[in-house]
Amino acid sequence: MQELITVEDVTKKYGNKTALGNANLKIEQGEFVALVGMSGSGKTTLLRMIAGLEQPTSGQIRQAGQVVDSINTNARVMFQDDRLLPWLSVRENLTFGEHSKKDITEADSLLNLVGLDEYADVYPEKLSGGQKQRVALARALMSHPKLLLLDEPLGALDALTRLNMQDLILQICRKRNFTTLLVTHDINEAVRMANRIIVVKNSMIVRQVENPYQGQDSVDAEAKQTGIVNDILHTIYEKD
Amino acid sequence: MEETKSKNKINSILMQLLPWTIPVALIILWQIAVDVGWITSSFIPSPLSVLANGVSLWKSGELPKNISISLYRALVGFAIGGGLGFILGFLNGVSKVMRALFDTTIQMLRNIPHLALIPVVILVLGIGETAKISLVAIGCLFPMYINTYHGITSVDPHLIEMGKSYGLSKYKLFSKVIFPGALPTILMGVRYALGVMWTTLIVAETVSADSGIGYMSTNAQQFMNMKTIFLCIIIYAILGKLSDFIAKTLENILLDWR
Ligand SMILES: Nc1ncnc2c1ncn2[C@@H]1O[C@H](COP(=O)(O)OP(=O)(O)OP(=O)(O)O)[C@@H](O)[C@H]1O
Ligand SMILES: [Mg+2]
């Protein structure tokens, strides 16, 4: 296994408030890692630094050996708010208005993958919240990113759509062997999708849990997953 | 079913006609009032006589000549002022250095009502074409500047961040994210500038000119020619409405995603 992301002694401060303290983390190629923790614990801060949208106050982040010191265009962020461009059709949101045959073919096949081929020519305004998020997912997958950074991508969805989207994302990431970092509030979601779960608490990475039951839905595996969920919840709510 | 459908259709036609009932009724009333003699026609001419006057002035070639010279001044002034306003607004919107250099000055100048510059412009540029076109240009510059600048600087920063993070080139970022995001505000500026364009031209042509609709109107005033004065007012109204229509159509085409 090859190491893709290295987070080394990274601290991020806003003024004198520490948003993330002395974080260390390695993500290997092909891994699906989830980042969980309470609101304000520093999850988005870490993800934004890996995306190069924010610079660490101290420490270093590397992707495939290269220091991330400006916007990291080798990573694709799927933001919590869909950030679709309202003036472009769904397809153009994927291609950014590019008309080359290659781009359009790729866009159409991704829209097919997320089940939205009929909506290619529609403006985003006409879509439901869940459909918009699927478009945002498809856009993030354009041109095979080396790293997918998903910040609460399913936050705004109802429980059922959420389950479908979890399956969809997991399927795609496995089939295409993406490396993925998923930020989520939902521990169940983390344990269903990730092979490793990172727990952030009070701006610190406090724990990393391996999850051999990733993506499994047998009764037995689900029981094991529930065990892991409870274990993580215990860590998060434990008094210091 | 069928009956309610046709009823609905009639209703919708009636609803579309409704806004026109009052203007039409007023014009008819006006015609009658003059015909019956409630109003002296030398004071306020009847709509039909204004129309007849228009037709004869058109045939003599005087009206087409004056309309086209006014249109020319309006459009050239708008193109120069609006274009300059757009370019300045664009530069200040995207470049911090430009903003620091220009914005304060422009904000100060903006507070001078441009019509107050008429005496200065006449003294410096005389009463030729340059003077009138300059006035229109100055009038159109500020609304275009303000709206372009505002439009560009108030594009959702989240969208810009997304574009950068997705590796868009500077050109792509501008053409696909910033400009379309600013366009609704810019078009509001266009609409506003078109309004300013006409009022400025009316004043400029009334104050000093030897051709144009404004001149026709002042000239008619000296001969107490009420028919021509009314004709000019109506032409201004039509031209104003026309530019509003053009602005609206532009919005409908360019902002079809809304
Ligand atoms: N731009 C900023 N300026 C100042 N403080 C910030 C900024 N961004 C984040 N913070 C602070 O850093 C801390 C961590 O924020 P972060 O957004 O990483 O939390 P999070 O774990 O993603 O929370 P949530 O689950 O609510 O999204 C918070 O206390 C937040 O107030
Ligand atoms: Mg967050």
Q: Report the complex ipTM.
A: 0.90
Q: Which fold has domain A3-74+148-237?
A: Rossmann fold (3.40.50)
A203 CA to centre of ligand 1 in angstroms: 9
Query: A149-180 b/e with 16+ CB inside 10 Å = b?
Result: bbbbbbeebeeebbeebbeebbebbeeeebbb
In a domain, B29, yes or no: no
Are A233 and A187 in contact by the 8 Å Cβ rule? The answer is: yes
Q: How far is the CA of A45 from the centre of ligand 2 (A)?
A: 7
The mean per-residue pLDDT over the stretch A128-134 comes to 89
Using a CB-CB distance cutoff of 8 angstroms, which residues of chain A are in contact with residue B159?
83, 85
Distance of residue A172 Cα from the nearest chain B Cα, in angstroms: 20
Nearest Cα to Cα of residue A179 among A144, A211, A133, A153: A144
Classify residue A19 by burial, with Cβ atoms within 10 Å: 0-12, 13-18, 19+. Answer: buried
Element (H, E) at B170: helix B170-172
pLDDT of residue B118: 85
Looking at chain A, the whole-number percentage of residues with pLDDT higher than 90 is: 70
**Summary mean pLDDT of chain B:** 90
Which ligand is nearest to the Cα of residue A42, counting in written order? Answer: 1
CB contact under 8 A, B172 and A76: no
Number of domains forming the structure of chain B: 1
> How wide is the angle at C-alpha A89 spanned by C-alphas A85 and A91, nearest 5°?
105
| Cβ within 8 Å, pair A96-B158 | no
Q: Which residue of A11, A16, A17 sits with most ligand 1 atoms within 8 Å of its CB, as the best mutation to test the pocket?
A: A17
Q: Which residues of A touch B164 (CB under 8 A)?
A: 71
Chain B residue nearest residue A90, CA to CA: B257
Query: For the residues B21-50, what does the mean pLDDT come to?
Result: 88
Q: What one-letter code names the amino acid at B45?
A: P
A42 Cα to the center of ligand 1, angstroms: 6
Q: What is the Rg, in whole angstroms, of the alpha carbon atoms belonging to chain B? A: 24
Distance A205 CA to ligand 1 centre (A): 15
C-alpha to C-alpha distance for A136 and A114, rounded to whole angstroms: 10
Residue span of the structural domain in which B52 resides: 48-254
**Residue A186 CB neighbours (<10 A):** 17
Please write the tens of the pLDDT for every residue from B136-187: 999 999 999 999 999 999 999 999 999 999 999 999 999 999 999 999 999 9
- pLDDT over 70 (residue A142): yes
> Is B85 contained in some domain?
yes
Least confidently predicted of B6-10, B162-166, B220-224: B6-10
Q: What are phi and psi of A196, to 5 degrees?
A: -150, 140
Residue A20, strand partner residues: A12
What is the domain-level CATH number for residue B160? 1.10.3720.10
Size of chain A in residues: 240
Residue B36 inside a domain? The answer is no
Percent of chain A with pLDDT over 70: 99
Q: Identify the residue among B155, B160, B161, B166 best suited for mutation to test binding to A, counting A beta carbons within 10 A and taking the highest.
A: B166
- Put simply, the answer to whether A123 touches B164 (Cβ < 8 Å) is no
Are the C-beta atoms of residues B160 and B177 closer than 8 Å to each other? yes
Amino acid at A128: S
Summarised one tens digit per residue, pLDDT across range A83-124 is 999 999 999 999 998 889 999 999 999 999 888 999 999 999
pLDDT above 70 for B2:
no
Q: Which atom of ligand 1 is nearest to the CA of A38?
A: 25
| Number of neighbouring beta carbons within 10 Å of residue A193 | 25
Exposed / middle / buried, residue B33 (Cβ in 10 Å: 0-12, 13-18, 19+):
middle
Could you say which ligand is closest to the alpha carbon of residue A151? Answer: 2
CB contact under 8 A, A96 and B257: no
* Res. A191 pLDDT band, cuts 50 70 90: very high
Contacts of B176 in chain A (CB under 8 A): 85, 88, 96-97
Give which of B204, B147, B187, B152 is closest to B173, Cα–Cα.
Answer: B152
Cβ separation of B165 and A77 shorter than 8 Å?
A: yes
Distance CA B192, CA B150 (A): 14
Give me the residue from B158, B165, B168 closest to A96, CB to CB. B168
**Does residue B165 belong to the interface with chain A, where contact is any CB pair within 8 Å?**
yes
Flag whether B39 is in a domain. Answer: no
**Domain coordinates of chain A in residue numbers?**
3-74+148-237, 84-144
CA A152 – CA B248 distance, rounded (Å)? 40
Would residue B175 count as lying in a domain? yes
